[in-house]
Each structure stands twice: as structure tokens, then as C-alpha cells.
């Protein structure tokens, strides 16, 4: 019987250089989308998918992320005194979303290292990995929930597949896979940024994984790759030699928070979903055209 996916690793140890100078003292993952930091959207997606334990991989300048998911008695006292009950309930809810643990990243750069850093907290359980700046919105279900359902069907690691245009084939790793059922594909290979002429499909491999603990052995034996860094995709390629790897074509919408344009688009799109902001923002946007 498969063990339940209860834990999620969220790496946030990067420098966020594409958002400098804003990220000089503030983590990129804490940039707001309307009125919530990007990271909170990712955590809420995990919790809505059944995750109970959130393991956030940090570095020295990510203290703001830890504070955000903690209780703040002084602020709670002030909100209570001011009669701001809605705001008080909102900030209390944040601290109670899940069980939080924080691990400082140690080892080579690359997105494989933070996953390996959490090995001692995962044990022999399957687990999720979500990037702290890649929220998905909309869709029939939370993105991670869709991945977990594919894992529960096949019992092997699952990655996120997202349909992209020709330009996307130049920006993302593209999945070579065959459909097996519903949203599920069996992965044959992941081709790094092949471009439209050489892309085996239009399915991009984005952040979001359900992994099994044997990935740790592969990560420990993975030699530094592109840029002298340890990459999760290299460990997954080795893992595929031992058992199948699946992808789930997710139904949500992805905004690239690694770019200024993607972040701005997300702010506009999500603000237009707020009843109190929709019409004033729509009128403002019309006035700017």
C-alpha cells in the first residue's frame, strides 16, 4: 500500500537577482501578488492538496519568510485593540496552515541541493517539491493535488507538465512522453530548451514534483552539471533507468514569477478576480491604452 504524500519541500534559497534592487533585502518569494506574498500562494496550494508538513529550504537572508508563517503577538494585540477582527483572523490563519520546518541550504548551487538538504526530514515517505516562486492558479483542482492523484495511480514519481507555445520551447525543458491515461504521461526524456524545431512536444517541465525517497541516492551520486550545479532533472534522468517516471498535464494557469512581466501579469489577473478591485482596475487599464 502506498504511503500518503504528507510532506512538501519548498526551496527559496536563491538570490532573486532578476528583481534587484527589490530583492537586495527582501526575498523574491515574499514579493506581493495583490496582498499576499508569492510564497503564501504556494503554501496554500500544498495545504489544499493534503500536505501537512512544509519544509522550507532557506539561506541567510530569508528571515522574512520564516517570520511570515509565525505568530506575531504584538501585531495580533494591536489588531484586537483596533477591532480589526477580519485582519486578525487572517494573520492567525497563516501560522496555522501547516507544520513548518526551516533548513539552511548547504552544498553546491542548483535545484537538486535543497531537496537533498531535507533528506533527514523525509525518511522513507513520498514527498512533494514545489518552487517557492511558482504558484499555479485556477484549474479543476490544485496543481499538486493533480500530481498526487497520478502518483497514487501509478506509484512512481510525477512531474508537472504544462502546455507552452513555440517560445516556451526555448525557455523550458520539454518532455518527451507518451499519454497513458487522462492527464498522465509516461516520460521518456526531458530535453533542455530544444526550441520549436527540435522539441518532442509542447509539454514543458515546470516546478512541482511528487518524488519517492530513492531520489536522494541519485542526488548524492549526481556530479555537478550545467553551471557546475546539482540539478534535479539529472537525478531524475538516472532514476528513470530503474523505474518509470510520469508527468501530469495540469489544468491550472502558470505565471512566470521569475520575470518582471510574469509578476506584473499575475498581479493584474488576480486583482481582476477581486470583487472590490475588478471594476476600478479595469477602468484604470482602459485609460492607459
Q: Please state whether beta strands 253-254 and 136-137 pair in parallel, antiparallel, or not at all (unpaired).
A: antiparallel
In the block, residue with C-alpha cell 526551496: 11
* 164, 204 Cβ separation under 8 angstroms: yes
Question: Quick one: cell of 4?
Answer: 500518503
Q: Give 73-111 pLDDT, tens digit per residue.
A: 999 999 999 999 999 999 999 999 999 999 999 887 888
- Assess if CATH 3.90.550.10 describes domain 7-258: yes
Of the candidates 246, 250, 137, 254, the residue with the CA atom closest to the CA atom of residue 183: 250
Digit-coded pLDDT (tens) for 240-281: 888 899 999 999 899 888 889 999 999 999 999 999 999 999
Could you say which DSSP state residue 141 is in?
Answer: S
Start-end of H helices in the chain:
38-48, 63-68, 73-82, 85-95, 113-117, 119-122, 143-154, 215-221, 232-239, 260-271, 275-288
Q: Tell me the average pLDDT across 122-135.
A: 93
* This prediction's pTM: 0.93
Mean pLDDT of the chain: 92
Amino acid at each position: 500500500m502506498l504511503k500518503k504524500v504528507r510532506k512538501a519541500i519548498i526551496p527559496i534559497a536563491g538570490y532573486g537577482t532578476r528583481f534587484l534592487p527589490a530583492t537586495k533585502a527582501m526575498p523574491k518569494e515574499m514579493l506581493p501578488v495583490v496582498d499576499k506574498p508569492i510564497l503564501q500562494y504556494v503554501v496554500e496550494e500544498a495545504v489544499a492538496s493534503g500536505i501537512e508538513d512544509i519544509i522550507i529550504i532557506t539561506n541567510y537572508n530569508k528571515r522574512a519568510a520564516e517570520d511570515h508563517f509565525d505568530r506575531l503577538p504584538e501585531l495580533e494585540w494591536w489588531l484586537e485593540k483596533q477591532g480589526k477582527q477580519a485582519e486578525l483572523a487572517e494573520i492567525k490563519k497563516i501560522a496555522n496552515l501547516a507544520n513548518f520546518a526551516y533548513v539552511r541550504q548547504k552544498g553546491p548551487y542548483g535545484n537538486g541541493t535543497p531537496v537533498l538538504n531535507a533528506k533527514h526530514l523525509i525518511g522513507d515517505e513520498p514527498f512533494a517539491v514545489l518552487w517557492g516562486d511558482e504558484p499555479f492558479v485556477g484549474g479543476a483542482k490544485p496543481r499538486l493535488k493533480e500530481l498526487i492523484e497520478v502518483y497514487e495511480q501509478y506509484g512512481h514519481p510525477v512531474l508537472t507538465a504544462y502546455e507552452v507555445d513555440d517560445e516556451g520551447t526555448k525557455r523550458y525543458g520539454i518532455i518527451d512522453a507518451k499519454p497513458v491515461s487522462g492527464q498522465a504521461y509516461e516520460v521518456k526524456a526531458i530535453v533542455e530548451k530544444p526550441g520549436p524545431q527540435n522539441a518532442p512536444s509542447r509539454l514543458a517541465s515546470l516546478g512541482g514534483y511528487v518524488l519517492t525517497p530513492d531520489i536522494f541516492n541519485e542526488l548524492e551520486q549526481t556530479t555537478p552539471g550545467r553551471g557546475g550545479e546539482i540539478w534535479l532533472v539529472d537525478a531524475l534522468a538516472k532514476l528513470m533507468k530503474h523505474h518509470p517516471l510520469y508527468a501530469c498535464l495540469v489544468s491550472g494557469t502558470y505565471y512566470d514569477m521569475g520575470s518582471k512581466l510574469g509578476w506584473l501579469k499575475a498581479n493584474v489577473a488576480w486583482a481582476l478576480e477581486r470583487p472590490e478591485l475588478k471594476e476600478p482596475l479595469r477602468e484604470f487599464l482602459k485609460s492607459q491604452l
